[in-house]
Structures are given as structure tokens and as C-alpha cells.
Structure 1
Amino acid sequence: MASLQSQDWTKNDEKLLQAVDYNDAGRVTSLLVRKGLVPTKLDSEGKSA
């Protein structure tokens, strides 16, 4: 099992999570491509996009 490390979330990570919550595939794609975000990053509650 991989070790868990602290991963700080930015406002762009929050925008990605919100786009996923709203099922906005275009926005998710745009954020992933333009910002180079990692959708498997976990927040403080262990939640990922």
C-alpha cells in the first residue's frame, strides 16, 4: 500500500471538485488540461475529485 502524504489543496482543486459535483465534464476537462491538476489528490477529509 502506498504511503499517504499531506497534499495541500488550492482554489483550483476546489474548482475541479465543484465541477465534478455539478457533472460539468467540459469544465473538468478544461481545469485538468489548463491547470495540470491531479484528480486523485485527497483533501483533508480524504475526498478526491
Structure 2
Amino acid sequence: APLQSQDWTKNDEKLLQAVDYNDAGRVTSLLLRKGLVPTKLDSEGKSA
């Protein structure tokens, strides 16, 4: 299902804040939630 533009805006704000704070884990999780990270992660969240 396509995301509402509102959700994208909220996620983008969180993403920018995470980048500002150099919070790599949060950046990665937000990108994964948006489906923008091309790497596959296993059940432990590590790169396969």
C-alpha cells in the first residue's frame, strides 16, 4: 500500500533530526521503514 504524503513528511523530519544528531541506528531504521535501504537484513538486523 502506498504511504500517505503526510507519513513521508513525518518520517523525513525524524530522519533529518537523526542525521543532525549523527544517530546512525535511527537513520538506518527510518530508511528501512521507508524501504529505501537496498541491503537485505536477516532476523537479527545484520546485513546478510
Q: Normalization by structure 1: what TM-score?
A: 0.53
Q: Normalized per residue, which structure has more helix?
A: 2
CA positional deviation for 1:34: 1.3
* Pair 7,22 (structure 1): closer, same or farther in 2 beyond 3 Å: same
* Pair 27,4 (structure 1): closer, same or farther in 2 beyond 3 Å: closer
In our comparison, the structure showing a higher alpha carbon Rg is 2
CA RMSD in angstroms, aligned pairs only: 11.1
What SS is found at the alignment partner of 1:33? helix
Q: Normalization by structure 2: what TM-score?
A: 0.54
Q: Which runs of 5+ in 1 are unaligned?
A: none
> Identity across aligned pairs (percent)?
96
Query: Which stretch of structure 1 is more off in the superposition, 9-18 or 31-40?
Result: 31-40
- Between the two structures, name the one with larger relative contact order (CA 8 Å, sep ≥ 6): 1
